[in-house]
Structure 1
Amino acid sequence: MKQVRCAIYTRKSSDEGLEQSFNSLDAQREACAAYILSQASEGWTALPEIYDDGGLSGGTLERPALKRLLAEVAAGRVDIIVVYKVDRLTRSLFDFAKLVETFDAAGTSFVSVTQSFNTTTSMGRLTLNMLLSFAQFEREVTAERIRDKIAASKARGMWMGGTPPLGYAPSDRTLTIVEEHAALIRHLFARYLALGSVRQLQEELAGQGITVPARVSISGKSLGGGTFTRGQLYGILKNVIYRGQIGHKDMVYPGLQPAIIDEATFTATQAMLADHLQGHRRRANAAENSPLAGKVVDDKGEPLVATHACKGKVRHRYYVSRALHHGGSDTGLRLPARELEGLVTERLATLLADPLQLATTMSLEVTPHLLTALPARCASLSVQLAERRPALVTAVVTRVAVGAGEIGVIVDLPALAAALGVEQPVDAPATIMLACGARLTRSGRTLRLVQDNGSLTRASADKSLVRLVAQARRWWQVLRTGEIDIAELATREGVTASYATRVLRLAFLSPAVTEAILAGRQRAGITAASLTLKATVPTDWRAQKAAFLPAG
């Protein structure tokens, strides 16, 4: 007679009573073992392994014993799984469907010793699905009751468990103050109000050697012991429990626990946190604003719209022709915002670099006082441009005209005079046009700005090119030992010998060209593809400089 290997699986949702010598899991296993014994004439034999999951919900398959059992099923070492009731295996219809698929694939079946049904018939499958539906319904209703009980208890100010906040210890359904830790909490609130910055508070605590007090939770888990993080400090400063309240979702209720922080201190802290958060958002939004929005036009006078696109967590800003942006046309300009703004900023910095010429351009009356003050004021505005503060560019630039070979920047001279703190004569010019020698080149779908000397307006290292130069140097280090030739190297690297030869030429680039590539300052159009596809790379370093670096 063929032996039928039977594995007994038991489960209990809570750990209540599991410490008893004969508990619910033992009772389930005994009933299953008796059933297997009654089928001994059919060759049924109970496997010795025990698969018990005590204190684990049937709403998930993340159970250690069940995982071990499924591994045995997949290995073909179990023929039948015996359970006391179907809901011991799972209370989820979705999970049950996955289990049945796993059992079918392994040729394993299961039996419930207290529920008789035959899953080979449509009526048996209907019966099983009805049982599981009621089991899932019971689990969801139980979960709703628990959530409602927690909400009602918190509305009455009770502490419903979990890790108690620093400064408190659990006591029945409330919290009691641990005075030693409460003194530290009061110190944190007081110092934050004095410093006005969580970052400075963190640095002060670290400098004074103040760490998170070490504690042990009810379950025996060690807590604290390290330095305060900014996240921990924010969590403490915002926690309504310290004001004597209990929070639940979006609601706050009076708590049964005594307050550690008085009402006035807590309110002042929340006001300061909210003010700093709004200020941070304003600064972040300002940093991402487009200072030339509404001021950029193409060579036909059509405006370009400031827009952006997100790739992952990176935000890329552009100035795009209105028709192209709204889908009315497939042609138009799409300029990287940072490159255009960088070009305009650089041109303004050049204007400010010569205070005397600027005074002449603005028709200022040159006095001894102006000769002394103007250079310092120009230097101050140059610092603002170098720090990429958009306010100055927005204030003084009224229009940016993007042409095929030149970009014209119209500067509002009265606005510039106000920024410099000087007065223009009545008959002085109102605007000045600054010409930026730059041409548009296409890179994929995006147009790039290239200055007259061949450099991009914004240096950015080409990662593919940098990797190629590094690869060329590694290959040359291998070849120079003389142990293998270029054909063997190409075979080892999985490339053709001609490609390896073209790459190896990059190992002999001049130091100036190599440094420029690493910094992204090579001539526009010099890419990994151009350097490996071109017929030759000059061996003379001066020729390389002329070919690969911007002029001047």
Structure 2
Amino acid sequence: MNKVRCAIYTRKSSEEGLEQDFNSLDAQREACAAYILSQASEGWSQLPAVYDDGGISGGTLERPALKRLLADVAAGTIDIVVVYKVDRLTRSLLDFAKLVEAMDKAKVSFVSVTQSFNTTTSMGRLTLNMLLSFAQFEREVTAERIRDKIAASKAKGMWMGGVVPLGYKANGRTLAMDNQHAALVRSIFNHYLEVRNVRLLTAQLSEQDLRVPKRVTGTGRKLGGKPFTRGQIYKILSNPIYIGKICHKGEIYDGQHSGIVDRETWDRVQAQLEANTQGEQQSRTGRTPSLLAGRVFDSEGNALIASHATKGTTRYRYYIGKGGEGDTSLAQRTLRIPAPELEKVVCELVAKEVERPLGLLAKAGIELTADIVANLADPSASLATGLRKRERATVRMCIAKVTIRPAQLTIELYATGLCDLLSITPTSPATTNPAISINANLRRSGRAVRLIHDGLSKSTEGEPQEHLLKLLHRARAWWQMMLDRKLTISALAREQQVTSSYASRVVRLNFLAPEVVEAIATGKQPIDLDAKKLFGMSDLPLSWNEQEDLLLDR
């Protein structure tokens, strides 16, 4: 009778209970040994080597005992691997396939004591795969439950572990303030408001030989002892945990711990960080950066992406996103709003408001002394000038969010940034960010969507519309063909494979007034002047003055 060498493999996911004299691993090994003994008539015998993995998950193959087992399998010293249950070997279907392949290569069978099968038969393989699929499903469900529990706990403001932020120490499911380190965090926030630059702040902390405090984590990992880096400073300044908040996957919840810095200081720091965002490139294409990048949203809260297209030496910038609700024709198509036009409209509207800032400050809930009110004229005029010049730092420190709806434009301002730009220290902190709303309509002009609001009838930037330029070129070319070849409208339409009506509407554009043509060529035409309007005019006046009055809104 041939001797069959059997190796027993045991595993337990947690370390709980392993210190006991008779633990789960012992119970598994004893059951496997009894099964091998029951097969003694078949020549089975237990190998003396012990393959135990205690406190290691079945979701990984990086297990010391399993590696020794596979090495012995490859060496040909094992004929059968015996486990208590299939999920003791692995809970991953992909890992199981790798293990079976390795065992097949060495002609080694796999036996589960409680499930009574082996991998030498096709039915055994099928049963194994089915059981392992359920084992993997159970593992994934358990992981989902853990993730859901963490999310629910963080929504309640609990601290769920990890590296404790500087300034705090773990206290169960919350954080307790470390007064010494908290003072350092406050000084970093206050110092940043003085220098207004992370790079300069990092350099000054290095000159003062201020280092990250030494700490030891719960797992024994040593932290700190080195100079602050720019990344560490930025992470501290942008971490809402310092105002008593808990973050989880982009959501922010009220925490159960106390904040280290006050809300006003936090808002001022965030406004300055936003204003310092490095959006400008050093290359030629960065000469006209998008001032409102990351700040423009549609009616559904989706961000519009700053994009551009280059033709020749001209760079055309746009804010692109999905259409908002209300206007079905726009909702089904992509918003593509010319960036210079939107930026000028927004900056002009905000400039007009800051020229009389008391209304905005009142909306923010800011109380001012009589002396501050008396000295607001010069700072407000300077701020309005900076906005009209579209100075990037000023715009990004002042404007928090622009929301574009089919019939309304809303601009939200940073209250703390507004106070800083007006050089005022209010007697009470801001309670909300003030907002400006005006009636505005989105109207498609070619591929772009134009913004039309009260008091704005002309294009705000010299940006020619490509579809209008093509129409003028086509009108000139078709008229020249008719002159050179003495074609009628009908003959021209047949040749160009268009209707006679369309051909006549295009050709008559050759007789537009020179000032109308110049306005279209330079992008100075009214926003609502598009191909639809030109084609929709059944009778184009022959008088150039009448055309200018009709088409240029004079």
Q: TM-score, normalised by structure 2?
A: 0.50
Separation of aligned partners in 2, 1:234 and 1:245: 17
Q: 1:83 to 1:273 in 2, by over 3 A?
A: same
In structure 2, what residue type is equivalent to 1:282?
A: E
Give distance in 2, aligned partners of 1:170 and 1:224: 17
1:47 equivalenced with 2:47 (yes/no): yes
The aligned runs of 1:241-390 (5 Å cut-off) are 241-277=241-277, 280-283=278-281, 294-295=311-312
Q: 1:107 to 1:255 in 2, by over 3 A?
A: same
Does structure 1 retain, via aligned residues, the 8 Å contact 2:109–2:118? no
Residues in 2 aligned to 1:21 and 1:215: alpha-carbon distance in whole angstroms: 37
Amino acid at match of 2:24: S
SS in 2 for 1:157: coil
The CA deviation string for residues 278-328 of structure 1, in whole angstroms up to 9 with x for no partner, is xx12235756679996456xxxxxxx999xxxxxxxxxxxxxxxxxxxxxx
Letter in 2 for 1:47: L
Asked whether the 8 Å contact 2:111–2:119 carries over to 1, the reply is no
Find the counterpart in structure 2 of residue 226 from structure 1: 226
Cα 1:80–1:253 change in 2 (3 A) is same
SS of the counterpart of 2:56?
Answer: coil
Instruction: Identify if the C-alpha distance between structure 1 residues 46 and 122 changes in structure 2 by more than 3 Å, giving closer, same or farther.
Output: closer
- 1:54-453 to structure 2, matched below 5 A, reads 54-277=54-277, 280-283=278-281, 294-295=311-312
8 Å Cα contact 2:167-2:180 kept in structure 1: yes
Alpha-carbon distance change, 250 to 293 in structure 1, aligned in 2, over 3 angstroms: closer
Which residue of structure 1 aligns with residue 25 of structure 2?
25
Determine the C-alpha separation between the residues in 1 that align with 2:12 and 2:284. Answer: 57
Greater alpha carbon shift after TM alignment, 2-11 vs 218-227 = 2-11
For residue 2 of structure 1, report the CA deviation from its aligned partner: 3.5
**Cα displacement (A) at 1:10:** 1.3
CA contact (8 A) 2:110 2:118 kept: no
Matches within 5 A, 1:508-527: none
Q: Taking structure 1 as reference, are residues 186 and 305 closer, same or farther at Cα in structure 2, changes over 3 Å only?
A: closer
RMSD value, Cα: 2.5
Moved over 4 A (4+): 284-296
Q: Distance in 1 between matches of 2:312 and 2:283?
A: 19
**Are residues 1:11 and 2:5 paired?**
no
Q: Secondary structure at the match of 1:8?
A: strand
State the distance in 1 between where 2:209 and 2:84 align: 58
Percent sequence identity over matched residues? 65
Partner SS state of residue 166, structure 1:
coil
Within-5 A mapping of 1:534-545: none
Q: Partners in 1 of 2:288 and 2:252 — Cα distance?
A: 41
Letter in 2 for 1:175: L
1: CA distance, partners of 2:173 / 2:95: 36
Mark the runs of 5 or more structure 1 residues left unpaired by the alignment: 297-303, 307-552
Going from structure 1 to structure 2, the CA distance change for 1:286 and 1:168 (only over 3 Å counts) comes to farther
Tell me, yes or no, if the aligned pair for 2:159 and 2:174 is still in contact at 8 Å: yes
| Separation (CA, whole Å) in 2 of partners of 1:124 and 1:91 | 17
C-alpha distance after superposition, 1:45-68 (max 9, x if no partner): 333332222222222222232222
Counterpart of 2:279 in 1: which secondary structure? helix
**What do the CA deviations read for 1:445-492 (whole angstroms, capped 9, x no partner)?**
xxxxxxxxxxxxxxxxxxxxxxxxxxxxxxxxxxxxxxxxxxxxxxxx
Q: Deviations over 1:518-550 (max 9, x none)?
A: xxxxxxxxxxxxxxxxxxxxxxxxxxxxxxxxx
Structure 2 CA distance for aligned equivalents of residues 225 and 170 of structure 1? 20
Q: Once the 2 structures are TM-superposed, how far is the Cα of residue 181 of structure 1 from its aligned partner?
A: 0.9
Q: Distance in 1 between matches of 2:288 and 2:267?
A: 37
Is the partner of 1:104 in helix, strand or coil? helix
- In structure 2, relative to structure 1, the CA distance for the partners of 1:96 and 1:285 (3 Å cut) is farther
Total equivalences in the alignment: 297
Shift of 1:180: 0.9
**Cα deviation per residue 1:74-118 (whole Å; 9 max; x = unaligned)?**
222222111110011111212111111111011111111111124
| 1:135 positional shift | 0.7
- Check the 8 A contact 2:158/2:255 in 1, yes or no: yes
Letter in 1 for 2:114: T
How far does residue 170 in structure 1 lie from its aligned partner after superposition? 0.9
Please give the alpha-carbon distance, in whole angstroms, between the structure 2 residues aligned to 1:37 and 1:26. Answer: 16
Offset of residue 19 of structure 1: 2.8
Q: Is the 8 A contact 2:154 2:160 kept in 1?
A: yes
Distance 1:78 1:126 in 2: 23
Alpha-carbon deviations, 1:98-144, whole Å to 9, x = none? 11111101111111111112444443332222211111111111111
Deviations 1:227-248 (A, max 9, x none): 2122111211111111101000
Report how far residue 173 of structure 1 moved.
0.7
Structure 1 letter corresponding to 2:214? A
What is residue 423 of structure 2 aligned with on the other side?
Answer: none
**How many Å apart are 1:182 and its aligned residue?**
0.8
Letter matched to residue 279 of structure 2:
R
The offset of 1:197, in angstroms, is 1.5
Amino acid at match of 1:91: R
* Structure 2 counterpart SS, 1:70: helix
1:219/1:113 CA distance change after superposition, 3 Å: same
Q: In structure 2, what is the Cα distance between the partners aligned to 1:16 and 1:284? A: 58
Q: Which aligned pairs between 1:489-508 and structure 2 lie closer than 5 A? A: none
1:283 maps to amino acid = Q
Letter in 1 for 2:46: A
